Amino acid sequence: MNNGCKISLKYLSTLILTLLFFCITVNSSARYYLNHGHPIPAILDTIPKKNIPVIKDTVVIDSASLDTLPFHSDSVSQRVDTIRLPVSKDSLDAPIAYSAQDSVVLDVPTKNITLYNKATTQYKDIDLAAYNIRMDQTNNLLLATYARDTTGEMIGRPKMTQAGTKMESDSMVFNMKTQKGITINTFTQSGEMYVMGEKMKKISKDDYFAFRGRFTTCNLDTPHFAFRTNKMKLINKEMAITGPIHPEFEGVPIPIYIPFGYFPISAGRHSGFLAPTFDVSSQYGLGLDGIGYYKVLSDNFDVALTANIYSYGGYNLYLRPEYRVRYRYTGHLFIAYQDTKTLSSSGKSAYDENKTYNFQWAHTVDSKAHPGQNFSASVNLMSAKFNNYNLTNPTAVFNNSINSSIAFSKTFDDGKYNLTLNANHNQNNLNGLVNITAPSVGFTAITIYPFAPKDFIGTPKWYYKLGIGLSSNITGNTSFYDSLSSFHHILDTFKYGAQNNIPITLSLPPLGFLQITPGVSFQNRIFSNKYDYKWDTVLQKLDTSSMKGIYFANSLAFSLGFSTAIYGTFTNFGKNSRILGIRHTVRPTISISYSPDLSKSYYTSPPVQYTKEGNIQSFNQFNGNVYSAFSPGTFGGASFGLDNNIEMKVKSKTDTTNGANEKIKLIDGFGFNGSYNYLADSFKLSPIYFYLRSTLFKQINISASTTLNPYQHDSLGININKYAWEGKGFSLGQIIGGNIAISTSFKSKPKDPKKEEQDKKNLEENQIPMTQEEQQAQLDYIRQNPGEFVDFNISWSVNISYSLSFSNTFVVNKFVTQLNSALILNGDFNLTEKWKMGFNCYYDVKNLKMQSLTTFLSRDMHCWQLAINVTPVGPYRSFNITINPKSSILRDLHINRTRTFY
């Protein structure tokens, strides 16, 4: 009995070891199968050798062919058997990685692996996650389903990601070899489009077919709106094509059917038609605004052609090409032609017709593209009345000064020389006067020190710092009225000139608290016209005649400058005061200079009569050229100035450590400057210029300036050689003019600071060059479409800008002050989390009249937006209401109502 027990235990031990070895071998074979895609027999020794293909090759090795060592002369033969393992037809070309939280069940006979609870698989670029995943190795299928918890809620809904496309379904069947599959109740996203299909068939990596599909741009599980169709094909990140389709809102179908639908969902730009908006104007009639076509010509170039068409016969054409090469350059053009027909108020004809144009070009070059070289352009050319007929920008009519500039610069020889080429244009739309300065060529050489050795040891000598520089300019200029412009007239009024300046400076070491700077300067100017002045005794007027040629003028000046800085502090504010002290810094400057009279021959001699009362004056014969002649007479005097700034030091609120203080600038600078000519026979003291600039509390920007005339005047307002404080009474002089500008902005803290930083970063990266007028046009577009730009992350914001300018002009025996003052306010605030209201107004303080007022009301409707814009005050009054989806691919699907009144 005991022996039987022993034999049984021994037999049982042997059986258990055999079973364990078999399980380990099978498990290893299964894992090898999953990782390499083809099966290997579990136990090779149990397979008959006759089932293994054997290739009998006899390889003859000759000892003589191998080396020279002595071997037997008989040839040596070696028999090699090569084993070829059969490759399964259902093998995969990549490994599969899998995991599960609960369990992994391997069914060897059926070659199925089932994963339970938070199961995941990865095969190539396919990631699949679900509650239950079954891998059918025989058919190369992946089957994924969900489960329900004890409360009946769905858990572990299958989710698959491939090539950036995410798909979520109730169940999935996917063939790993053919990349085809069928899903039930599938939800996926392609670009801005969210697609749902009761049954979807995947036929390739990017192509899908859907039965009873629904697609929308709303990302909610139950979208606010959607489009329903029974048949749909989706090409990932390219397009969606449907059969008969109809919309639904809040799940309610709308009985509006179209035979088919085409929705471009490709990322980036794509060509297409631009849908118009409807407009109604009492002056222009019914209108279609913004109809046109957008064409992508290449990765770096696109163009948009749009038009505004009105029922009274007027139309506007706009061409907007744009180009951009990353890390190289970017820019765009804007070409506009307006043929405006408005109802006539004169009664002579039914309509008044005006034709105007506008050409704009903006271009910038990345500084890294060509180090040491830069090119930029901001060009704006237009008819004088173009802004008067600009319906889309009601504030443009107030902009009467138009400017343009084109600039190129290049440095040579490690920055020793600099070459600049410029062209500038300015235009006054009130009188139509156009000034063009082109070309303007400048060449500058940095200061060289001829007496300074390249290498020296010890303290440098004082004459080592004697420097010589060079600055040269060549400029052309022409002026004309746009109504009289012609090529012949432009050439006839073209002028040119040149200027050369050679400064010689010497930087001496400080003499105590005093800095002394001597200098010598020589200037040369070249003119193209010379003018002669004569009094016509018959017609009692001054006649002017010009002579073309090449004329020269020279100037020589010697100077000795003194400058220093004086500090004063006040610290008696008490122990408990946050203010630690106030420092006042005074920087006086005095420059003594002498300039011989080299300009006497450039002025009329004897003086010429210029009024009926017999007033005489010496006129500058080079006045009206690109450069003016130098001032007449010998100058021997001093230029003086006094600059101040005031700073305050306070204890920090945020940092309470010892010595943690903050500096606050109370006044950035204020002072005056002028000059006094000792050698002049009259009017020795120049007008005094006063200025002030400050940034209070880092929020309020203030700047002001004025000019004081220290002389008395006669009955005609002409200065006489007598100071204002001489004679009866005391006066410092007459204020000639001045200006004050105050601006500030306030806004609430962002609700999400990270979003605010990201928005600023995106704005900087996508910023393109724009002219001032284009910036204004963009601001107007923002006002017309606030739903696209309002930032609910900022609860409120206010911008305030005030300007005042004045000038004193002598009129009929007295000085009359001409005053201009304007206040510009704009801001917005959240009424609720979804409602925002804003305004923008221009108020004429002088006439106590509001010149322009624009208001808007915006509603964030999640996937839609509502914008109401009203312009009740201004040359053009308008009302606009727009409801449209936020998504760019459905932006043309909008409801719009616009009325414009002149």
Q: What percent of the chain has pLDDT over 90?
A: 24
> Contact 238/246 with Cβ under 8 angstroms?
no
Q: Are strands 277-281 and 895-901 parallel, antiparallel or unpaired?
A: parallel
Site of tokens 């009054």 = 877
How much is the pLDDT for 491?
Answer: 80
Cβ burial of 782 (10 Å; 0-12, 13-18, 19+) is middle
Nearest-angstrom CA–CA distance, 211 and 198: 6
Nearest-angstrom CA–CA distance, 823 and 804: 9
Q: Residues 6 or more apart from 363 whose CB is under 8 A from it?
A: 329, 330, 331, 375, 376, 377, 769
How much is the pLDDT for 361?
Answer: 92
Structure tokens that stand for 532 in this block:
């002669």
> Contact 183/166 with Cβ under 8 angstroms?
no
Q: What is the pLDDT of residues 821-872, one digit of tens each?
A: 999 998 888 888 889 888 888 899 988 888 888 888 888 888 888 888 888 8
Q: Residues 6 or more apart from 350 whose CB is under 8 A from it?
A: 343, 344
Q: What percent of the chain has pLDDT over 70?
A: 84
Cβ burial of 896 (10 Å; 0-12, 13-18, 19+) is middle
Nearest-angstrom CA–CA distance, 646 and 579: 14
Structure tokens that stand for 13 in this block:
């031990």
Nearest-angstrom CA–CA distance, 395 and 403: 17
Average confidence (pLDDT) over 635-648: 91
Structure tokens that stand for 91 in this block:
């093998």
How much is the pLDDT for 77?
Answer: 42
- Secondary structure class of 452 (helix, strand, coil): coil
Considering the chain, what is the average pLDDT of its residues?
81
Q: Is the pTM of this model over 0.85?
A: no
Cβ burial of 207 (10 Å; 0-12, 13-18, 19+) is middle
State residue 789 phi and psi, 5-degree precision: -125, -15
User: Long-range contacts: 226-235, Cβ < 8 Å, 24+?
Assistant: 227/261, 228/253, 229/261, 232/195, 232/197, 233/207, 233/208, 233/209, 234/188, 234/190, 234/195, 234/207, 234/208, 234/209, 234/210, 235/206, 235/207, 235/208
> Contact 739/804 with Cβ under 8 angstroms?
yes
How much is the pLDDT for 24?
Answer: 41
Angle at 797 (CA atoms; ends 796, 800), nearest 5 degrees: 150
Q: What is the pLDDT of residues 1-58, one digit of tens each?
A: 444 333 343 444 444 444 444 444 444 443 433 333 333 333 333 333 333 344 334 3
Q: What is the pLDDT of residues 656-681, one digit of tens each?
A: 665 568 888 889 999 999 999 888 88
